[in-house]
Amino acid sequence: MNEIEEKIKTLRDELEQHNYNYYVLSSPTISDYDFDIKLKELQALEEAHPELADPASPTQRIGSDISREFVQIEHKYPMLSLGNTYSEEEVRDFYHRTMRSLHEPFEITGELKFDGTSISLLYEHGRLIRAITRGDGTRGDDVTANVKTIRSIPLKLRGSGYPDEFEIRGEILLPWAEFDRLNSEREEQEEPLFANPRNAASGTLKQLNPAIVASRKLDAYFYYLLGEDLPAQSHYENLCHARSWGFKIPGMIRKCHSLEEIFDYLSYWNIERKNLPVATDGVVLKVNSLLQQRNLGFTAKSPRWAIAYKFQAEQAATRLNSVSFQVGRTGAVTPVANLEPVLLSGTTVKRASLHNADIIEGLDLHTGDTVYVEKGGEIIPKITGVDKDARSTVMGNKVSFIKECPECGTPLIRPQGEAAHYCPNESGCPPQIKGRIEHFVTRRAMDINIGPETVEDLYEAGYIRNPADLYLLTETDLLRLERWAEKSARNLMDSLEQSKAVPFERVLYALGIRYVGETVAKRLAFAFQNITNLKQATLETLTEVDEIGGRIAQSILDYFNNEKNQVITARLEAYGLQMSMNETILANRSEKLKDLTIVISGTFLKHSRDEYKAMIEQHGGKNSGSVSGKTDYILAGENMGPAKLEKAAKLGVKIINEEEFLNMLSE
């Protein structure tokens, strides 16, 4: 081994050990910063020596941004489901049935049923070869590239004694903390929220872009080993071996020798599971001995040697006192049930979401009704039913959706095909005004150093009614308010001044035009270059821009047609905000790639993928993620995906390398 090889190997081993310490053992021994430095060092070495590439290198966990359609693959062993029950009676039946069938002593393992999305991993000679989703049980999607980004999954096994070939099955989970973080981020971006961590985990795993998957911090727990030559003759011991190879095997697994022990386990975890970092929805009971499992066999759908006991989603009955209506920053109106406080899953519940008018109608709600509240995997408790028998002869009033905005009195509208009602008074309705200013100041928008409470105070004091008003604030104004000292006032002034350098595309995003998120804002900025052009845009010129459809285009037109918005944007421009694209970027613009659609694939030596992407856009071309009949060129680096290569050959798409691409630009 030469010096470079040696260095690369040391770094890989060291980084993998740190991954294991952090993600499997939860006891890191290095700072994130030092870890990143080492990872960057390894990345640089690997880029300089592509011949030393290794699909199991820790750098492969970063997730490339090559999007790929998933290929379907047949499972070697079908992925069956489990018989489900909610009743202790059926657990008893399962136990006695097993006893009668086996005629000999047996052990039952109790383990938690994790509520995520199931995965099957294939390892050969200690290396992760493939990761397949459950699919229909017989065939699933090949999601290997995404699964590699999950740091607690070993790409290379530790220790020894693993079979040359085996499969291990488990659950991919999004921990509660990460779920909350993801949802608040989505709320800020006006993207639909995930209802529970399970949906979030399966949605993430099906992302076409592994870089997005990598950013979402999934975790994985394993519970089932399959293969021809497993190390032990019992489920429990096999899992212990798997733990020594580096897999995250939950520690809550117990061997039970009687029904009492099983019921103790069930009642213990029914409570204790609420303290776990991930969602669980029951307990799985399995016959421990593999020989006995084989004797018991399978029904058409599930093993006879296992059963899932599901925890009751906790329910409580309480009185509906009233329904109130909340207005969000987009004007959407949400009905909220105000309840007689009731204890549910350890917290006092006073309010529950009623979602929309159809839900209220479906429940036939009346004030004073006794309603059932449930807290399942969802964050906000929901009302699942009404106890109609509990209604007295004098019923309360039927709950109906309001006709006017509770904040400003404007008649509500319900757009065709939508479930939600909206208040259309965008510029006069207080929560909408405050919400828009809160969005304007966020870090990814103008990055102005104030939070929602300050926005509230400034609004109440009458200083701000729209984002432009922020730039009229003076230190004297602020010092007149409670809780403001010279230092904090100075800070806000500085922060406002600095925001004037924020580039045009972020200013566009900050305006809070409905459906204009960060990506759309960037595309608009590139396509129209300044606000004057954008204001003159038509439905046609807008929809010509890549990925801008009729709905977004109409929303942009509506925004600029509104006189109040015209005044606001004119004022922002007058105060010195960036209302056109950066000069140097513009100066280097050309139309050399006009009307050309280019797909980037593989890894490059001279520039990063993002730089190539920016170059394509800067020269009027379109960057696309997948090869199709519309593709003009594939800009191919090292290790271009075989699927893309095949498709390109079939469609006769021209493949060019870095030099050829750069020559096209310098011609």
Active site residue ranges: 113
The answer to whether 143 touches 131, Cβ cutoff 8 Å, is: yes
405: nearest Cα among 416, 418, 421, 419:
421
Enumerate residues 6+ apart whose C-beta is below 8 A from 637. Answer: 600, 601, 602, 603, 604, 605, 657, 658
42: nearest Cα among 55, 64, 57, 30:
57
Give the span between the Cα atoms of 95 and 262, in whole angstroms: 10
Binding mask 500-539 for ligand IVH (x = CB under 6 A): ----------------------------------------
| H helix or E strand, kind and range, residue 456 | helix 452-460
- Closest CB to ligand IVH among residues 143, 349: 143
Give the span between the Cα atoms of 381 and 359, in whole angstroms: 14
**Which parts of 438-467 interact with ligand IVH (CB under 6 A)?**
none
Size of the chain, expressed as the number of residues it contains: 667
- What are the tokens at 27? 């006891």
354: nearest Cα among 263, 441, 419, 280:
419
- Closest CB to ligand IVH among residues 173, 458: 173
- Closest CB to ligand IVH among residues 77, 340: 77
| H helix or E strand, kind and range, residue 344 | strand 332-344
Query: What is the nearest approach in angstroms of ligand IVH to the Cβ of residue 72?
Result: 18
Give the span between the Cα atoms of 637 and 604, in whole angstroms: 5
Determine if 429 is a binding residue for ligand IVH (CB under 6 A).
no
Binding mask 304-343 for ligand IVH (x = CB under 6 A): --x-x-----------------------------------
| H helix or E strand, kind and range, residue 350 | strand 347-353
Report in angstroms the alpha-carbon separations of 439 from 48, 149, 513: 43, 31, 11
Binding mask 169-198 for ligand IVH (x = CB under 6 A): --x---------------------------
Among 203, 231, 303, 641, binds ligand IVH (CB under 6 A): 303
Between β-strands 306-310 and 84-85, what pairing exists: parallel, antiparallel or unpaired?
parallel
**Complete edge-to-edge strand list for the sheet that includes strand 306-310:** 84-85, 306-310, 280-287, 108-114, 254-256
- Closest CB to ligand IVH among residues 173, 508: 173
- Closest CB to ligand IVH among residues 63, 250: 250
- Tell me the residue type at 39: L
| H helix or E strand, kind and range, residue 281 | strand 280-287
Among 81, 347, 538, 608, binds ligand IVH (CB under 6 A): 81
Among 162, 224, 265, 325, binds ligand IVH (CB under 6 A): 224
Query: What is the nearest approach in angstroms of ligand IVH to the Cβ of residue 204?
Result: 16
Determine if 222 is a binding residue for ligand IVH (CB under 6 A).
no
- Closest CB to ligand IVH among residues 24, 79: 79
- Closest CB to ligand IVH among residues 146, 432: 146
Residue 585, phi then psi, degrees to nearest 5: -65, -40
| H helix or E strand, kind and range, residue 370 | strand 370-375
- Closest CB to ligand IVH among residues 9, 304: 304
* Listed ranges 54-62, 76-84, 206-214, 524-532: which one lies at the site for ligand IVH (CB under 6 A): 76-84
155: nearest Cα among 182, 128, 180, 176:
128
**Which parts of 92-151 interact with ligand IVH (CB under 6 A)?**
111, 113-114, 118, 134
- Closest CB to ligand IVH among residues 168, 496: 168
* Listed ranges 303-311, 440-448, 472-480, 555-563: which one lies at the site for ligand IVH (CB under 6 A): 303-311
Query: What is the nearest approach in angstroms of ligand IVH to the Cβ of residue 120?
Result: 10
Query: What is the nearest approach in angstroms of ligand IVH to the Cβ of residue 170?
Result: 8
- Tell me the residue type at 21: N
Give the span between the Cα atoms of 366 and 580, in whole angstroms: 55
Residue-wise DSSP of 232-245 = -SBHHHHHHHHHHT
The answer to whether 599 touches 43, Cβ cutoff 8 Å, is: no
Residue-wise DSSP of 60-123 = GGG------PPPEEE-SS------EE--HHHHHHHHHHHHHHH-S---EEEEEEE-SEEEEEEE
- What are the tokens at 458? 């400034």
Query: What is the nearest approach in angstroms of ligand IVH to the Cβ of residue 307?
Result: 10
Query: What is the nearest approach in angstroms of ligand IVH to the Cβ of residue 562?
Result: 50
Determine if 290 is a binding residue for ligand IVH (CB under 6 A).
no
Query: What is the nearest approach in angstroms of ligand IVH to the Cβ of residue 113?
Result: 4
- Closest CB to ligand IVH among residues 23, 223: 223
- What are the tokens at 21? 């310490």
- What are the tokens at 95? 């136990």
Query: What is the nearest approach in angstroms of ligand IVH to the Cβ of residue 298?
Result: 8
- Closest CB to ligand IVH among residues 135, 467: 135
Count residues binding ligand IVH (CB under 6 A).
15
Query: Helix or strand or coil: residue 172?
Result: strand
Q: Count the Cβ atoms, other than its own, within 10 Å of residue 653.
A: 20
Give the span between the Cα atoms of 501 and 404, in whole angstroms: 41
Query: What is the nearest approach in angstroms of ligand IVH to the Cβ of residue 172?
Result: 9
Report in angstroms the alpha-carbon separations of 91 from 94, 312, 509, 593: 5, 14, 56, 67
Determine if 223 is a binding residue for ligand IVH (CB under 6 A).
yes
Among 11, 15, 42, 82, binds ligand IVH (CB under 6 A): 82
Determine if 80 is a binding residue for ligand IVH (CB under 6 A).
yes
- Closest CB to ligand IVH among residues 203, 517: 203
* Listed ranges 300-308, 435-443, 457-465, 630-638: which one lies at the site for ligand IVH (CB under 6 A): 300-308
Query: What is the nearest approach in angstroms of ligand IVH to the Cβ of residue 112?
Result: 6
- Closest CB to ligand IVH among residues 118, 144: 118
Residue number with the smallest Cβ distance to ligand IVH: 118
**Which parts of 345-374 interact with ligand IVH (CB under 6 A)?**
none
| Buried-state track 335-369, b at ≥16 Cβ within 10 A, e below 16 | bbbebeeeebeeeebeebbbbbbeebeebebbbbb
Query: What is the nearest approach in angstroms of ligand IVH to the Cβ of residue 193?
Result: 23
Query: What is the nearest approach in angstroms of ligand IVH to the Cβ of residue 111?
Result: 4
Among 147, 284, 429, 521, binds ligand IVH (CB under 6 A): 284
Alpha-carbon 553 to chain mean position = 26
Query: Helix or strand or coil: residue 319?
Result: strand
Residues near ligand IVH (CB under 6 A) are 80-82, 111, 113-114, 118, 134, 171, 223-224, 284, 303, 306, 308
